[in-house]
Structure formats: structure tokens, C-alpha cells
Amino acid sequence: MGRYVLRRLLQMIPVFIGATLLIFLMVRALPGDPVAGLFGERAADPAVVAQLREEYGLDEPLWKQYLLYMQGILTLDFGQTFSGREVTDVLAQAFPVTVRLALVAFAFEIVIGIAVGLVAGLRRGTVFDGTVLAATLVVISIPIFVIGFVMQFIVGIKLGILSPTVSAQAPWKDLLLPGVVLGSLSVAYVMRLTRTAVAENLRADYVRTATAKGLPRQRVVTVHLLRNSLIPVVTFLGYDLGALMGGAIVTERIFNVPGVGFTIVRAIGLRESVTVVSFVTILVIVYLLANLIVDLLYAVLDPRIRYA
Amino acid sequence: MPDPSSPLPGPGQGGADKPVHIAAMAHGETATGPSGADTVGKPRSLWSDAWHDLRRRPVFLLASALIAFLVVVAIAPGLFTGSDPTFCDLSRSNQTPSASAPFGYNKQGCDIYARVLYGARPSIAVGILVSLGAVLVGGTIGALAGFYGGVVDSVLSRFADVFFAIPLLLGGIVFLSVFPDRNLWTVVAALVVLGWPQLTRIMRGAVISVRDADFVTAARALGASNRRILLRHILPNALAPVIVIATINLGIYIVVEATLSFLGIGLPPTTVSWGGDISSAQSSLRTAPHVLMFPAAALSLTVLSFIMLGDAVRDALDPRLR
């Protein structure tokens, strides 16, 4: 176990360095000038440009810029946005909102996804199962922003059940609708994964043994069948928590949720590439860490991985 | 689920088992077309077997028909409409569907039906070009890593891991937000750069699984070069999972392109595209929902077609998943 953890941690280092280098190179080595974008249609004052370039270290050679950028990541100092606020301040304000949004989506995925997937798997081949399969395929095909608009229109505007936009403090009640939209794609995958695993394990020897022992069906399903079927689902959910943070970009834009994604979209609109890069870097780090935690958890859950 | 190694009954299987097909393939039997597929006693290749099976699937036929139609629309949208998608008249802003404009008019008073038809081209083009690019780059690297193994494999796989660590949408945002002028090719480049590692992993796994097969040893014993073994013997037998994933991904790339255009950093606003039209329809959602629904429906139908096609092809190529 210890060796597996150590190996996994060591593997993480080159990927981390490589991924940050890649993001850095994409932004700095490409033709666009991050400072020129600030001025929009107006002609830039050379003195201001020179000052800004110096301030953001853009006049240094590329390798030195990368070191500065890495230093910033490691010391959690991401510098300032072009409007003069500390990136970490903006982040401290926006990040909790996105985390709460992702949690709503996550709860929706777990409760609805596993419940529906379990029933579909137990009744494989029935009308219910067929409906679930068709419905999930349709949901997977519809881009999340279309689902977002349709839900916003029907639930928020036509029916008026939930608020179509989120207010500044982002209370839990307002996050319900965007959370469901954010989780809609993953809930389809959770349903399909659970369904397949349950339908497959239903024929496993241990299920037959449990039934032969005379255990009530409810106990066979919940304790024996579901527990074993959830291993692939747990893996997916773990990776998904990281992916949800990134997926929130679109949902937050639709529902005006004041989170990380909303900030990124606004920074893109203002052509603040420095802010965009800082935020995306943080999201990629969160994503990598989530993957790492899942891999470690998975080794705890499944001994076959640990000794492989 | 039937045991994959046992002969599968039914009209689509012909009674011969899979390894025979692979071996037949490896010895250069033609894999195209259904001709001769029904001849008794002659084993079919994996591909003609799959084709034989696919022709009988309604999902496959439906998806193929839809995709064929979409491709025709993408190549020649003028066949289906006489109006110009960029001709707009504010006096008919947000008008609902009527005889002259089956889908109505958008906020600027442009014909939505024409815009939906003309919007097919960039979406389909991005999907196909990114898929091709990712298969070429990812497939080549994956095949080399799987075939040579050892240090080559380690270096190439770690290299792919780095790109794999960046989610498609986030990476696309960074990549495209710094381009001063964006067009179809920058979007394609961004998605290929971020999308290839997935195909590398799949191709590498598939190549490793056939690398030590008997027919490879036989070819080597006959003095075939590495190049010939890889191209003629291993690749045809390792391509199936790559094609399946590439087809399913084609739909996903279309979604990502539309999402990027929706966020305002994909295709330029002057291009008629579904993502861009959906984005600009957002402001009049309350008063004119039809402006959003038509391009959104076209986009969803396109993605659904590619996902259904990929699912059908996977089921046909890999009977174990049935």
C-alpha cells in the first residue's frame, strides 16, 4: 500500500510540472500579446505598455517567466488582476460558491443516478430500463448550455418554481436549479454505470449464494449487490467532482452564479489573459488533486489495484 | 452476456468465432463490403462481420441516414433554402415561424431556418477535422508506444499524460483566449492538441493486446520488417476500438466547439454557427424561445446521431459488450 501511494505521488510530479508548463506555453509563446488586449480598439500608450509588461514580468526571458509563474503557484501568490485586485482575493470570494454549486450537483448525481440505475439494472430489459437508456442517451447528446436554457425557461420562468438566476449571496435554494443542470450530464453516466454493474453482478455467484442462504431480497440487493456494483461508480464520481468544477463555467454563466466560472468568463470578455490563466491553472490543480485522491481511495477499496 | 470465445448463434454471426476472423484479416483478406459474406464455410473478417451485423440495426441505419443528410447540408446548404442567412431585416425581429420562414426570425430579423442550415458546416467540419487530427496524432503515438514498448513507451506515455491532465474545455479556453484572431482552424488546432492523448491510450492498449499474437510471430519469422508488421498486421487488428471512440468523440468535439462559441471564444461572431446563435438567442429567451430552440435542436440531433453511430459500431465490433 505504502509503495503504491509513493509511486502514485511521484508520478504526479512530472504531470503537474508538464501541465503547468503547457498552460504557460500556450499563453505566453503564442502570438497574442496579453497587454495589447487590454487596450481594445484604442492605440496603446508605449509607456503604459512598458510599465505593465515590467509589472507582470513579461519583459523577462521565457524560462524566467515560467519560474516566476511556478513560484506564484507554489506560494499561492497569483498576482493581481488587471483591475488591481489580488487574484487570491477574487478566488476566496468565488471559490466557495463554485464548491457549493458542485456539491448540489454531486448530491443530485448520487441520489438520483444510483437509485434510477439500480432499479433499471434490476429490471433489465423492461420498459423502465429501455426508457432510462433512451433518456440518458438524449441527455448525453444535448449540450449542457441547451439543458440550462431549457430548464431556466421552463422551471424558472414559465412555472416559476425556482429562481431563474442566482442572487449575490448565492443561497442554497437558488443553487438548486443550476446544480441540477450542472449534474445532468454526469447523472446520465452514473445511471448507465450503475445499471450495467448491477445487471452484471446480479448473475454473480455471491448473489446466488446470498439468496440460497435465505437472506431477504432487500438485504441481498443493498448489502451484497449494490456494494459491489458501486466500485466503478465511486471512481467515476471521484473524477467527476474535479470535472464539475470546470464544467461549472457554462452553468455559472447561464444562471449568473458568482463563482469561479463566472469570473473566468468575465475575464475572457475583458481580455484579461493573466486572470484567465491563474484561474484555469487553479482548476487544473484541483482536477489533478481530485484524480490523485480517487486513485488512492480506490486502492483502499479494491486490493487488486494496490498490488497490481 | 455470451462467452466471447464460444461460437455465437444467430444470423449475424455465421457460427465462426472471432480469432478466425482476426487471423483471416491478418492474411490480407479484403475487409470491405458485404460481398461473399454469406458464403458458407468461408470465415468472414471482423470488419465484414461487423458490417453484416450493422446493416440489420435500425439504430445504425437511422444514425447513418441522419449523418448523411447533415453532411449534404454542410456541403451544400443552398440546396435546401433560397434565403441568405446573413440577410437580416430588423422589422421582422423575433417573428415566430410562418410560411415564408419555417423557423421564424431571430432578434436581428435573420431567417433562422437558413441560419440553422448554414450553421451545420462549421460544426460538422470541426467535428470531422478534430477527430481525424486526433486519430492521426494520437493513433500514431499510441501505436509506436505500444509496439516498441520500453523506454519509447514510457517517454511517449508520460508525454501524453501531461496533455491528458488538462480538461478539454478548460484547455480550450486558455488556448483560444490568447489567440488574437480566431477561426475554424484555431479551434480545430486547440481541440486536437488537447484531444489526442485519449486516442493514444486506446491505441496503445489495442496494439499491446495483439503485439504478441501468433500471426505477428509468424510474420516476423517470415522476415517481415517492423514497419510492415506494424502497418499490415497489427494496425488492422488494433483499429476497431480507436474508430469507435473517434466516432463517439466526434459528437463530443462538436459540443465543445459549440460551448466555446457560446462562451464567445470559439468561432468568430461573423461565422454562422449553432453555438454562436444559441448564445445570442439567450437575451430574448423570455419573449422568443423559438430563436433558441431551433439551433439547439439541430445541434443536439447532430450529436445524438454521432453517439448512436458510435454505440452501434462498438456493439457490432465487440460482441462481448452486448
**Span B304-313, pLDDT tens digits:** 999 888 888 8
Q: B-contacting residues of A 212-241, CB under 8 Å? A: none
CB atoms within 10 A of CB A159: 9
pLDDT of residue B145 exceeding 70, the answer is yes
- Quote the pLDDT of residue B6: 36
For A215, half-sphere exposure in the C-beta direction (CA atoms, 13 angstrom radius) is 16
Cβ of A284 and B303 within 8 Å?
Answer: no
Whether the ipTM is more than 0.95: the answer is no
The span from the CA of B306 to the CA of B313, in Å, is 10
Query: Positive or negative CA dihedral for B221, B222, B223, B227?
Result: negative
- Quote the pLDDT of residue A56: 66
User: Each residue of B44-71: pLDDT tens digit?
Assistant: 677 787 788 788 888 889 999 999 999 9
Averaged over B23-45, what is the pLDDT? 48
Per-residue pLDDT of chain A (308 residues; tens, 9 = 90+): 677 778 878 888 888 888 888 887 877 655 556 566 566 566 667 777 777 777 766 677 777 778 877 887 777 776 666 666 777 888 888 888 888 998 999 999 999 999 999 999 999 888 999 899 889 988 888 888 888 888 888 887 777 777 777 776 767 888 888 999 999 989 999 999 999 889 888 888 888 999 999 999 888 888 888 888 888 888 788 778 777 877 788 888 888 888 888 888 787 777 676 777 778 888 888 888 887 887 777 777 666 665 55
- Quote the pLDDT of residue B321: 47
Residue of B66, B263, B290, B314 to mutate when probing chain A, most A C-beta within 10 A: B263
Confidence of residue B4 (pLDDT cuts 50, 70, 90): very low
Q: Which fold has domain B45-76+102-321?
A: MetI-like fold (1.10.3720)
User: Each residue of B118-142: pLDDT tens digit?
Assistant: 888 999 999 999 999 999 999 999 9
On chain B, the residues whose CB falls within 8 A of the CB of A249 are 169-170, 173, 263
Calculate the average pLDDT of chain B.
79
| DSSP states along chain A | -HHHHHHHHHHHHHHHHHHHHHHHHHHHSSS--TTGGGGTTSPPPHHHHHHHHHHTTTTS-HHHHHHHHHHHHHTT---B-TTS-BHHHHHHHHHHHHHHHHHHHHHHIIIIIHHHHHHHHHTTTSHHHHHHHHHHHHHHHS-HHHHHHHHIIIIIIIS-SS-SS--TT--HHHHHHHHHHHHHHHHHHHHHHHHHHHHHHTTSHHHHHHHHTT--HHHIIIIIIIHHHHHHHHHHHHHHHHHHHHHHHHHHHHHT--SHHHHHHHHHHTT-HHHHHHHHHHHHHHHHHHHHHHHHHHHHH-HHHHT-
On chain A, the residues whose CB falls within 8 A of the CB of B248 are none
- Quote the pLDDT of residue A43: 67
pLDDT of residue B12 exceeding 50, the answer is no
A206 in contact with chain B, both atoms CB, cutoff 8 A = no
Return the CA Rg of chain B.
Answer: 23
Which 8-state DSSP code applies to residue B234? I
Cβ of B169 and A249 within 8 Å?
Answer: yes
Phi, psi values for residue B105, rounded to 5°: -125, 150
- Quote the pLDDT of residue B267: 83
Cβ of B166 and A19 within 8 Å?
Answer: yes
A141 in contact with chain B, both atoms CB, cutoff 8 A = yes
- Quote the pLDDT of residue A124: 86
Which of B14-28, B51-65, B150-164, B251-265 is the least confident region? Answer: B14-28
Q: Can you give the residue ranges of every domain in chain B?
A: 45-76+102-321
Calculate how close chain A gets to B164, using CA atoms only, in Å.
9
- Quote the pLDDT of residue A176: 87
Averaged over B267-286, what is the pLDDT? 82
Calculate how close chain B gets to A196, using CA atoms only, in Å.
10
- Quote the pLDDT of residue A307: 57
Which 8-state DSSP code applies to residue B164? H
The closest CB to that of A143, out of B286, B289, B299, belongs to B299
Cβ of B308 and A268 within 8 Å?
Answer: no
User: Each residue of B79-101: pLDDT tens digit?
Assistant: 777 777 777 777 777 777 777 77
Cβ of A146 and B1 within 8 Å?
Answer: no
- Quote the pLDDT of residue B126: 92
- Quote the pLDDT of residue B32: 43
Phi, psi values for residue A86, rounded to 5°: -70, 135
